[in-house]
């Protein structure tokens, strides 16, 4: 019987283990075995080489973010025969519970800027501390955070921080090794998970996808190549809005990292103290329209109201991508923050026209005008003599 070799690569856990007849030959100098030993050493070397750039982030205080708010939780009751028109709200996008414990960040610049994932701060902590690789523990300021692309920028009072080498976005290739590092499990050595880059330009062109296992312990930490260059910052993502959207995918083999080109653009804004929020059009959609995306109501004020859009107008496409129902619209907008523009292809009375609209924050939107419901057959008819 021909032996079968089964390989188990343990990162930092000792030698490779083999079973079967071929394993004995492999352990005495088989070329494939030596290649695997060298590969394992490469993973360990990357973790060791990256350690000076990693920081451990700890927070104190704050509370779990509130999830989706249902209409029946609103104070007061809507008037009879009126559809409740709740205000626009930013929601977390997931019911994932943020646990206590350290998380991971990476030195972005020598003058004390640290980048990490914004999900580490959804509890709005009172105090933030950063422990550097040399053992110094420093108070950190949360400069700003991007709730859409899940990036946060911290500042500590330190200079001369060692900064890693980044892999240029154009040099990242599908199928190359990807090594995710984190400090969230405690100890001085980073945790290591290994996979490949499985896709590029994901999440509307914002992210690299990897099958290396990502979880809350390494969100905010680096995804690296085998040369020890940073491919991107590990963040949770999903095809829906919400700062915690995608957290439930942890350890699933579907993970995302923001590469340098995108990260630099975001950090340049975060350094000014400006945060990014979900972008809104300020409309409601007619649920009875099944063959088109028909606007039912428009908030006042809102980007769409300022553009002259009204009930009955149809949205045909967003940034060149056709939309036919509400899910299409959410998918088209979920990664575009407030303050950025979208191009809409519209239709009114069988005439097509285009609009360039700047998305707004939820706090910048007014209420939706109340709309009369059709006659409720269960309600008594009014007396014809009443005025």
Q: Same domain for 219 and 296?
A: no
Residues 291-338 have pLDDT tens digits of 899 999 999 999 999 999 999 999 999 999 999 999 999 999 999 999
Query: Is 338 within the bounds of a domain?
Result: yes
The answer to whether residues 8 and 17 touch, using CB atoms and an 8 Å cutoff, is: yes
For 41-49, what is the mean pLDDT? 97
Per-residue pLDDT tens over the stretch 228-242: 999 999 999 999 999
If you average pLDDT over every residue of the chain, what do you get?
86
Q: Is residue 104 part of a domain?
A: no
Do residues 189 and 250 both lie within one domain? yes
pLDDT surpassing 50 at residue 279: yes
User: What is the spatial distance between Cα 318 and Cα 351, in angstroms, rounded to a whole number?
Assistant: 17
Q: Has residue 132 got a pLDDT over 90?
A: yes
- Min mean pLDDT across 132-136, 245-249, 288-292 is at 288-292
pTM of the predicted structure, to 2 decimals:
0.84
Q: What value does the mean pLDDT take over residues 261-289?
A: 96
> Which of 49, 57, 35, 43 lies closest to 212, judged by CA?
43
Task: Give the DSSP H or E segment for 258.
Answer: strand 255-259
pLDDT range class, residue 9, cuts 50, 70, 90: very low
Q: What is the DSSP string of 119-185?
A: GGGTT--SEEEEE-TTS-EEEEEEEEEETTTTEEEEEES------PPBPPGGG--TTSEEEEEE-TT
Cα–Cα distance measured from residue 185 to residue 102, given in angstroms and rounded to the nearest whole number: 7
CB 130 within 8 A of CB 57: yes
**CATH number of the domain that residue 351 is part of:** 2.30.42.10
Within-domain flag for 357: yes
Say if residue 254 is in the same domain as residue 293. no
Task: Flag whether 331 is in a domain.
Answer: yes
Confidence of residue 377 (pLDDT cuts 50, 70, 90): low
What is the separation of C-alpha 197 from the centre of its chain, rounded to a whole number of angstroms? 17
| Selected residue with higher pLDDT from 208 and 23 | 208
Query: Are both 245 and 289 inside the same structural domain?
Result: no
Q: Which domain holds residue 190?
A: 169-258
Residue that wins the pLDDT comparison between 112 and 74: 112
More confident residue, 82 or 163: 163
Cβ-based neighbours of 296, under 8 Å, separated by 6 or more: 283, 284, 285, 286, 287, 311, 371
């Amino acid at each position: 019987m021909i032996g079968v070799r089964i390989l188990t690569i343990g990162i930092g856990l000792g030698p490779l283990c083999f079973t079967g007849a071929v394993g004995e030959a492999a352990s005495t100098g088989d070329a494939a075995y030596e290649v695997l030993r060298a590969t394992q050493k490469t993973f360990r070397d990357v973790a060791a080489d990256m350690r000076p750039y990693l920081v451990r982030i700890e927070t104190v205080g704050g509370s779990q973010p509130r999830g989706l708010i249902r209409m029946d939780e609103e104070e007061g009751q809507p008037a009879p025969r009126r559809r409740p028109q709740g205000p626009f709200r930013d929601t977390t996008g997931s019911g994932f519970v943020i646990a206590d414990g350290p998380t991971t960040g990476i030195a972005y610049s020598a003058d004390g800027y640290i980048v990490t994932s914004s999900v580490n701060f959804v509890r709005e902590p009172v105090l933030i501390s950063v422990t550097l690789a040399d053992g110094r523990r420093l108070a950190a300021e949360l400069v700003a955070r991007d709730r859409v692309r899940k990036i946060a920028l911290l500042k500590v009072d330190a200079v001369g921080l060692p900064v890693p080498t980044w892999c240029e976005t154009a040099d990242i290739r599908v199928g190359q090794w990807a090594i995710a590092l984190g400090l969230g499990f405690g100890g001085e050595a980073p945790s290591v998970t290994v996979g490949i880059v499985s896709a590029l330009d994901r999440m509307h062109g914002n992210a690299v996808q990897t099958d290396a296992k990502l979880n809350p312990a390494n969100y905010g930490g680096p995804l690296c190549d085998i040369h020890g260059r940073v491919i991107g910052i590990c963040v949770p993502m999903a095809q829906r809005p919400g700062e915690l959207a995608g957290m439930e995918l942890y350890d699933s083999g579907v993970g995302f990292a923001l590469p340098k080109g995108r990260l630099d653009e975001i950090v340049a804004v975060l350094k000014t103290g400006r945060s990014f929020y979900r972008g809104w059009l300020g409309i409601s959609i007619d649920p009875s329209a099944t063959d088109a995306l028909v606007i039912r109501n428009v908030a006042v004020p809102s980007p769409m109201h300022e553009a002259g859009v009204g009930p009955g107008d149809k949205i045909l496409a967003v940034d060149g991508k056709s939309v036919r129902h509400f899910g299409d619209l959410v998918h088209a907008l979920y990664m575009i923050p407030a303050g950025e523009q979208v191009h809409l292809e519209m239709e009114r009375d069988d005439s097509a026209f285009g609009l360039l609209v700047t998305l707004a924050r939820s706090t910048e939107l007014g209420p939706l005008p109340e709309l009369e419901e059709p006659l409720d057959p269960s309600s008594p008819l009014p007396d014809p003599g009443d005025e």
